[in-house]
Amino acid sequence: MSTIATENLLAEEMEGWGLHHATYWSNDLNSWGSVSDWDVYFIDKTPGCSKDEAHRSLSLELNILLKKLSDKVDIIPRQTP
């Protein structure tokens, strides 16, 4: 399997996966930030939403990314101490 970075994927391709925020994920990996950064992004894009809604959306998006990218990326399991 070859390793790819999501910035090499077009937002249009990611939208075809069912992602609602493909433009966020098609940015440089280093710009993704923390859960708090996602909250700020999501609340800005979805005025009036709750933090719970932002987290639910993040969970759905990450599940899609993991499913779709697992075929394209070598996943290295986390080593336990």
pLDDT tens, position by position, 16-45: 888 888 888 888 777 888 999 999 999 999
Whether residue 79 is contained in a domain is answered as no
pLDDT computed for residue 28 by the predictor: 78
Specify the number of domains making up the chain: 1
As given in the structure block, the two tokens for residue 5 are 């970075």
Whether residue 55 is contained in a domain is answered as yes
Q: 45: domain range?
A: 6-69
∠ CA 9-46-4, rounded to 5°: 15
∠ CA 80-63-72, rounded to 5°: 80
Whether residue 11 is contained in a domain is answered as yes
Whether residue 56 is contained in a domain is answered as yes
Q: Is 9 a residue whose pLDDT tops 80?
A: no
Q: Is 60 a residue whose pLDDT tops 90?
A: yes
Whether residue 32 is contained in a domain is answered as yes
Taking the model in full, what pTM does it have? 0.71
